[in-house]
Amino acid sequence: MGVYSLVVLVAVLGFALLVVWVPPDRVHGWVFWGQMLWQTVCHLLLQHGEGLLPQGGGVRALVAVSSLMLLTQRVTSVSMDLQEGRIHLPQGGAASCPLFLLSLCSYVLSFPTLLGGPLYPYSRFVGCVEGSGPGAPPLPLGAVSLKLLQVLLLEGVRAGLLRGLPGPGPAAAGGPGPAGACLCLWGVALALRLRYYSHWGVSEGLNLAAGFGPQGPDRGGLSDGDPWTTEASPRVSEFARRWNATTAAWLRRLVFRRGGRCPLLLTFGFSAWWHGLRPGQAAGFLGWGLAVRADYTLHRHVGAALSSRWGRGLYAGLSWAHTQAVITWVVLLVEARGVAPMGAWSSGGVAPLGAWSSVSVLLFPLLNAALALCFLLKPRAFS
């Protein structure tokens, strides 16, 4: 990252100083607001100063800010552990024990996570490092190889999917019809999600090779999402819990359980802020939050009222289709970083999908908002 590594190093230095100077019961608030303020400044500089960066600097700056986002997960996890008493400061405070500060900095700067690996607690990191002596079990080459094979399979499926989508040319000039446009949008969004699954698979394999896998203290693996289980989720809320699972768990702990009266919308709103708060990200995550809230109410009232097998099967199928529609809308909007680029969406050689693409994408939030209004209705309206 070159000089852009200062983006991460400044955050780590600030975190270490706060751990030394602020009492454990108050450190989380200082770490949270300080880290998010620094991350927001870096996001704004990246968004509005991309044209001023030297050639090749844009990619390095993007990697640095991405690493800063993952660093935010780590430092806030440690600050919550300190606040809740899960991590105990050495006698005399953190300043009296440089080794304690070194272990915290080693955890937050662990390279597998800064490259996108799954989030795991500080206690697991310490346990894995302490168990990495001469008597440690061998590296799980079989598990790493299996992860890489899964990544190759996902990339093969993704390449085949993109080849099946309409490309530029006379045949695609008029754009597909309504059904074809919806299928094309779904295919593009699925291809983008498959790229995420591949990235997580590589990160998990790197995590295993670094010694933070099944040989850890709890003998459990770490995963941000199994594509087969996640994509089969029949409900929007289930998909939200399974997608990027370790980050979802971090958001539940950081925001949802502390969110007061509107924890769900605050959680998705904070997720948009953490991702950069571009217009597309804000609209996508808030729309996702409304869909999850509507899903809870519909499942509690409508799903419970269905007694026949065919009725439940039909409801499950429609719920899965709605989940895919919601996630398609969210992924395309977040990746496009705004509503305006959606009408001319193009990814991996996929041609613009014509007017039907714009109509389906722009009308979907209205449908989703109407569905979200269900949570304002009283329960007796469903009886």
**Residue numbers annotated as active site:** 244, 275
Query: How wide is the angle at C-alpha 242 spanned by C-alphas 240 and 244, nearest 5°?
Result: 90
The token duo for 351 is 């041609």
Looking at residue 10, its amino acid is V
Whole-angstrom distance, CA of residue 207 vs CA of residue 231: 24
How many C-beta atoms lie closer than 10 Å to residue 322's C-beta?
Answer: 20
Whole-angstrom distance, CA of residue 231 vs CA of residue 328: 11
Residue 105, sorted as left (phi over 0), alpha (psi -120 to 50) or beta, turns out to be alpha
By the 8 A CB rule, do 330 and 362 touch?
no
By the 8 A CB rule, do 243 and 288 touch?
no
Whole-angstrom distance, CA of residue 221 vs CA of residue 215: 8
Whole-angstrom distance, CA of residue 206 vs CA of residue 65: 21
DSSP H helices, 86-139, are: 98-108, 111-114, 122-130
How many C-beta atoms lie closer than 10 Å to residue 156's C-beta?
Answer: 11
Looking at residue 46, its amino acid is L
> 194 exposed, middle or buried (CB, 10 Å; 0-12, 13-18, 19+)?
buried
How many C-beta atoms lie closer than 10 Å to residue 24's C-beta?
Answer: 18
Q: Under DSSP, is residue 218 helix (H, G, I), strand (E, B) or coil?
A: coil
Whole-number Cα distances in Å, 209 to 106, 212, 246, 383: 17, 8, 19, 54
Phi, psi of 210 (to 5 degrees): -80, -5
By the 8 A CB rule, do 275 and 255 touch?
no
By the 8 A CB rule, do 379 and 301 touch?
yes
